[in-house]
Amino acid sequence: MKTSHILFALTILAATLGILFQENLSSIKMTHENQPTNTLSKLWLKMYDLKVTDSLSKPIKYIKVFGNGANTYLYLQKVNQPSLFSTYPQSYTYRLNGDTLLLHIQKSYANIHLNQTAPIEQIAIHRGSLTLTGLMQDSISLLATQNSQLELGNRWQREESDSISHVYIRILGQSKVNLSDVKMKTIAAVVDNSMLNYETNAQADSLNVILKGKSSVVSNDRDAVNQIKNLMVSGDRQHFKKEFAGKGVHLISE
């Protein structure tokens, strides 16, 4: 057989295997200990290094999610050994840079559990949608930029509301942050050509917002009683109206 024919045949074989791999990725099933649970999973795991659980060498302080337009659900849980868990590990790749975890989302949807030994200091989302849950700590800093959406406090897979005493938020580049089922004391936010929203079950003693450009802060249900006790709005308020605060909210405007 001519060399060109052999190369052509190998190309066809590689392409076929690639298609089969993509079609069967969703059928791969493993335990938390990375053991395959069926024959198909055993076959593919012999050919590809996939794990549902990856141990991390050190505690994480900072998380950067590069969403690529995808929807990412990130669940945090405090345990003794840091690790990443996902039933669909092929949906993302990660890299550690010191105490920073870099997550690159590869598919349209990712469901990731981060088991951590210490509180996370900062979480950032770039070009995607991120739902955060499982946060129980004193303080955290959040960043949403480049047309991103971030939801804090969704009860996804939880019965208990998230609880964070002090929250610091920066929203940039036509992004949006939504405060959902979370208990807080103070929130300080800078909203730059973006939007900050809160649900009626978001609780806080005070929300201090600085608006820049085409920005606003809005209750998602203005006709219901909201649980943000005091809302202070300063900066460029041309796109903010007092009725946006919702019932039960004491509005302070500088």
Q: Report which listed range, 78-82, 100-104, 157-161, is most confident.
A: 100-104
Pick from 35-44, 83-92, 171-180, 216-225: least confident: 35-44
pLDDT of residue 79: 85
Helix H segments across the chain? Answer: 3-24, 39-47
Q: Which domains does the chain have, with CATH numbers?
A: 1-50 (no CATH), 54-253 (2.160.20)
pLDDT of residue 51: 63
Token digits for 100?
């920073």
Question: Quick check: 183 and 161 in contact, CB under 8 A?
Answer: yes
Q: What is the pLDDT of residues 113-127, one digit of tens each?
A: 999 988 999 999 999
Pick from 82-86, 97-101, 142-146: least confident: 82-86
How many angstroms separate the CA atoms of 123 and 173, rounded? 17
pTM value is: 0.81
* Residue 210 pLDDT level (bands cut at 50, 70, 90): very high
pLDDT of residue 21: 44
